[in-house]
């Protein structure tokens, strides 16, 4: 297992377009998290899955954002009608729920032009 | 509402000396604290953690201290090495769920 994989690493899109990111967690991890990081800030929580159930969503996750984790494996994060303010690094992390911290992926950097 | 704060955006330390990174929090419900290290274009990497029932945890060159009454924690790196140059994030959680991060401190180790 090579850790948490995120695809793509970079995405440039025009304002108004839809984008979708994928995260493949560590296979034995049942928890999956999405975070967003903007310049000069720490990662901010977006949403969290335990297996296929989406258990929590941040108020940061507007109705243009949707996340899924079918069958409790990989997850996708879709942003509809992108805005320039959506430009950020989108980080995925997975965890087995123990107290040893998450494992983060390398992130997807989104630039909306 | 910044519940986890790292008030020093940057810190420079001579190689071989001790690096001390500080973090303050406001939510007394936090019961688990973590430090992450981040290089450019990579995701955060877990360094060390501490439960609220402890006041110190040590792992090699890294030690985390927790002062619950002051709602303050610190990360000590000794001796500091050039490879320690990175951005360090403090994070906190309630019941091992989502993490709340600070804004980070950029540590530069001067050879």
Q: Of B41, B98, B101, B102, which to mutate for an interface test with A (greatest number of A Cβ within 10 Å)?
A: B98
- pLDDT exceeds 90 at position B57: yes
Distance CA A103, CA B74 (A): 22
Tokens of A75: 């997850």
CB B71 within 8 A of CB B24: yes
- Judging contacts by C-beta atoms under 8 Å, the chain B residues touching residue A33 are 98-99
- Supply the range of the domain harboring residue B63: 4-110
- How many structural domains does chain B have? 1
Please tell me the distance from the alpha carbon of residue B64 to that of residue B59, in angstroms, as a whole number. 9
How are the residues of chain A apportioned to helix, strand and coil, as percentages rounded to the nearest 5?
5, 50, 45
Tell me: pLDDT of A10 over 90.
yes
| pLDDT more than 90, % of chain A | 80
Could you tell me where the DSSP H helices lie in A1-113?
none
Mean pLDDT value across chain B: 95
Probe site for chain A from B5, B43, B97, B103 (most A CB atoms < 10 A): B43
- Picking from A41, A42, A48, the nearest residue to B98 by CB comes out as A48
Across the interface, do B89 and A43 touch by the CB < 8 Å criterion?
yes
- CA-wise closest residue to B98 among A35, A28, A66: A35
Assess A25–B contact: CB distance below 8 Å, yes or no. no
- Write down the pLDDT at residue A28: 87
In this prediction, residues A33-39 reach a mean pLDDT of 94
pLDDT of residue B10: 97
Shortest Cα distance, chain B CAs vs residue A81, angstroms = 26
Residue with tokens 């409790």: A72
- Dist CA A88 CA A111 (whole Å): 7
pLDDT digits (tens, 9 = 90+) for A47-86: 999 999 999 999 888 899 999 999 889 999 999 999 999 9
Q: State how far the Cα of A112 lies from the Cα of B17, in Å rounded to an integer.
A: 42
Per-residue confidence band for A100, with pLDDT thresholds at 50, 70 and 90: low
- Tell me what pLDDT residue B19 has: 98
CB A23 within 8 A of CB A32: yes
Residue A30: name the closest of A92, A76, A75, A94 by CA. A94
Please tell me the predicted confidence (pLDDT) of residue B96: 67
Q: Does A30 touch chain B (CB under 8 A)?
A: no
The pLDDT, as a whole number, for residue A1 is 54
- CATH number where B92 lies: 2.60.40.10
């Amino acid at each position: 297992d090579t850790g948490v994989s995120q695809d793509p690493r970079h995405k440039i899109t025009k304002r108004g377009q839809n984008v979708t990111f994928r995260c493949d967690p560590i296979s034995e991890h049942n928890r999956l998290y999405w975070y967003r990081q903007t310049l000069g800030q720490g990662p901010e929580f977006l949403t969290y899955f335990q297996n296929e159930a989406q258990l929590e969503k941040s108020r940061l996750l507007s109705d243009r954002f949707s996340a899924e984790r079918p069958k409790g494996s990989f997850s996708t994060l879709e942003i509809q009608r992108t805005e320039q303010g959506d430009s950020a690094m989108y980080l995925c992390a997975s965890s087995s729920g123990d107290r040893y911290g998450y494992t983060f992926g390398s992130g997807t950097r989104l630039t909306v032009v | 509402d910044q519940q986890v704060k790292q008030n020093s955006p940057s810190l420079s330390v001579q190689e071989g000396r001790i690096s001390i990174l500080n973090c303050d929090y406001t939510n007394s419900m936090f019961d688990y604290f973590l430090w992450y290290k981040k290089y450019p274009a990579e995701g955060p990497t877990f360094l060390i953690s501490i439960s609220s029932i402890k006041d110190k945890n040590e792992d090699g060159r890294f030690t985390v201290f927790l002062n619950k009454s002051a709602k303050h924690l610190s990360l000590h790196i000794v001796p500091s090495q050039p490879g320690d140059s990175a951005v360090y994030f403090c994070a906190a959680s309630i019941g091992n769920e989502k993490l709340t991060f600070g804004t980070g401190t950029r540590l530069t180790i001067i050879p």
